[in-house]
Amino acid sequence: MEDTKGQLTKTVFIALGISTILILLIVLQHNLAFQTSSTIVLPAGGTYLGPSSRPSAATTPVVTSASTSGFVTVKGRTYPYSLEVPATLKLVTFPNDAFDIYAIAINNQPPEQNVLIGVDDLNRTEDLKTYIKGNKRAYVENWWKQFGGLKGVSSITPFTNTAGLTGYKAKFLNNAGQTPNDDIFFETPNAAYVIHLANGPLPQATFDAIVDSVTWEK
């Protein structure tokens, strides 16, 4: 009888010990997960324009009018650009953003990986200032060098949208030799500013309609 009680006591202590160890491991893993700092990983061929914080909350677009086609007008908050986007498209902005970006919020993807539009000020670095004079094709040809996930340019096609803006449709090569994205660059009446758009997750026809609607107030 004494042996049975001893074995039972021993079994209980072993079970408690194992349970304690498992609980400690779970707590340790939980704490390590929250101590790990988050990083923004730019995918190969990504189109993120520059450094900015994650959006603190989803921000609805600045809608100034709606059309019967289901598109609404969105205006830049810093720069005088505007564009027409589907009313169902969820856009977010970033705090302390020097590029005046609107990014697409979709499928829980990080919005900074789906930038729709932004403006690059060529005055921000000495190297970029060299592109202020003349047309912006040279800037487009060398834009990919700012990003580690890209290795070159495949094609550049000049065009003019219905608002009369001179644009360049570019396809950049990622490190896998692919050209997954359409990148659009528009010259503006202010030679120091270049508008940049990227198609990201948008259907081609929708993106083309957005590109054709881009304007810049003089």
**Per-residue pLDDT at 27:** 38
* pLDDT per residue as tens, the chain (218 positions): 545 555 655 554 565 556 555 444 443 343 333 333 322 223 323 444 444 444 443 444 444 444 446 999 999 999 999 999 999 999 999 999 999 999 999 888 888 889 999 999 999 999 999 999 999 999 999 999 988 888 999 999 999 999 999 999 999 998 888 888 899 999 999 999 999 999 999 999 999 999 999 999 97
Same domain, 109 and 177: yes
Distance CA 102, CA 65 (A): 17
**Per-residue pLDDT at 199:** 93
Instruction: Report if residue 205 sits inside a domain.
Output: yes
Per residue in 114-128, is it b (16+ CB within 10 Å) or e — as a string? bbbbbbbbbeeeeeb
Same domain, 22 and 108: no
Helix and strand totals (H; E) in the chain: 4, 11
Same domain, 24 and 76: no
Output the CA angle 190-194-197, nearest 5 degrees.
Answer: 140
**Per-residue pLDDT at 49:** 46
Q: For residue 7, count CB atoms less than 10 angstroms from its CB and return exposed for 0-12, middle for 13-18, buried for 19 or more.
A: exposed
**Per-residue pLDDT at 37:** 30
**Per-residue pLDDT at 74:** 97
Output the CA angle 109-154-190, nearest 5 degrees.
Answer: 75
Residue 91, both tokens? 């856009």
Instruction: Report if residue 48 sits inside a domain.
Output: no
**Domain span holding position 15:** 1-36
Instruction: Report if residue 191 sits inside a domain.
Output: yes
CATH label of the domain that carries residue 114: 3.40.1000.10
Q: Closest Cα partner for 109 from 43, 154, 167?
A: 43
Q: Closest Cα partner for 182 from 218, 153, 151, 213?
A: 153
Instruction: Report if residue 55 sits inside a domain.
Output: no
Same domain, 80 and 187: yes
**Per-residue pLDDT at 57:** 39
Partners of 195 in the β-ladder: 119, 186
Number of domains comprising the chain: 2
Q: For residue 96, count CB atoms less than 10 angstroms from its CB and return exposed for 0-12, middle for 13-18, buried for 19 or more.
A: exposed
**CB neighbour list of residue 179: distance below 8 Å, 6 or more residues apart:** 45, 154, 155, 171, 172, 173
H/E element holding 171?
strand 166-174
